[in-house]
Amino acid sequence: MKVLFFILEKEFRQIFRNKAMLPIIFVIPVVQLMILSFAVDYEIKNLKLTVVDADRGVYSRKLTEKFTASGYFHLLEYTSDNEEAANLMHGWKTDVILVIPNGFDKDLMNDEVPLVQLRMDAVDGTKAGMAAGYSQAIIRDFIFELVGEEMISMNKQPEFLYKGEVIPINYYNPYMNYKVYMVPGILAILVTMVGAFLSSMNIVREKELGTIEQINVTPIARYQFILGKTIPFWVIGLFEFSIGLVVARLVFDIHVEGSLFVLYFFTSIYLFLILGFGLLISTVTATQQQAMFISWFFLVIFLLMGGLFTPVENMPDWAQKFTYVNPVRFFIEVLRGIMLKGAGFTDLLNQFMLISGYAILLIWFAVRRYKKVDN
């Protein structure tokens, strides 16, 4: 026990004396939380719209007005030249082309189904998807209003008005505020990154500097050494997480709906998992450079497939299956659950089993892999 205390003392001293490590620990998380949360916003405004109006009728003008009035689109060009519009898209000038064919007015008057064409620049898939969604909603609204007016003026009951429309209500995040949605996820990413990087660089650093040579001939036990390496980063990880929570509260006004105790309980276990992962990398690599690359390799996959940037449900089947071994996915679920929905421990039992299971497995591997003797 006394030995462990001395090793912990040594580790903390070294961490606080490392001029490069301190900024990583304190400044970077706060800065990233602020930048990422403000920058990652899926609402897209000011899409550049080109309208190719071959009809030049009343309704085609009305439809164009409806697009610009929505606030999502900015009318770049109003033309009847299809070629010109195509060139604009090719030259990155326009995002969306709305083609209104000749005879649009007439078709509407004659109760025919009018056809319009939408063309998106799909180089940025997310943007194209959003643009398509907005456009469809606008066109649907337009037809809805138009048909409604007409029916009323003809003193007819517009039948489909009674068919009802689906009006979604967003629970737990009523205004679909992306910050509410992003902040817990980014918090999870920060805890993961700081924990994994710091711990994966640690034992390997002793290998690189040669100091492990001196430690290995001492009677120090493996568990003492590994614990001495783990506990400081566990404490730092929890500290970082707390900073993140304070920032979430003060800057983004996100309150933790659920119990703080459950939140910290999960974070503690998750940190053991991440530290075990880092230690495992540290024991199988020989230099800090190798450790850095291997951690990056795994972290990029874990983070991108963690459900923050692309919902897990949108992934192909094989990728969804893969996320079952992705701890980041479960931690994001846990944080969103507790912070936004007020989920309790029993709601998160599955995640608890998975996270603690992986934690035990990784630490066990790391201790097994760390040998004081080599061949």
> Tokens in use for 241?
């997480």
Applying CB under 8 A, the span of 87-95, 148-156, 175-183, 366-374 interacting with another protein comes to: 366-374
Q: Per rule CB under 8 A, is residue 20 in the interface with another protein? A: no
- Measured from the CB atom, the residue of 46 and 218 that comes closer to another protein is 218
Taking CA atoms, 303 is separated from 71, 249, 329, in Å, by 33, 23, 8
- Measured from the CB atom, the residue of 11 and 347 that comes closer to another protein is 11
- Asked if 191 and 328 count as a contact pair (C-beta separation under 8 A), the reply is no
Q: Per rule CB under 8 A, is residue 287 in the interface with another protein? A: no
Least Å distance between CB 224 and another protein? 9
Q: Per rule CB under 8 A, is residue 6 in the interface with another protein? A: yes
CA distance 223 to 210: 20
> Tokens in use for 137?
């909603």
CA distance 269 to 266: 5
Which residues, 35 to 94, sit near another protein by CB under 8 A? Answer: none
Measured at the CA of 159, the angle between CA 153 and CA 164, to 5 degrees, comes to 115
Interface characters, 180-219, with another protein (x: CB under 8 A): -----------------------------xxxxxxxxxxx
Question: Helix, strand or coil for residue 119?
Answer: strand
Q: Per rule CB under 8 A, is residue 1 in the interface with another protein? A: no
Least Å distance between CB 13 and another protein? 6
Q: Per rule CB under 8 A, is residue 2 in the interface with another protein? A: yes
> Tokens in use for 116?
């319009």
- The type of residue at 292 is M
Indicate which single residue of 28, 75, 146, 220 sits in contact with another protein (rule: CB under 8 A): 220
Please report which helix (H) or strand (E) contains residue 15, including its range: helix 2-17
Binding residues for another protein, rule: CB under 8 A, are 2-3, 6-7, 10, 13-14, 17-18, 209-220, 372-375
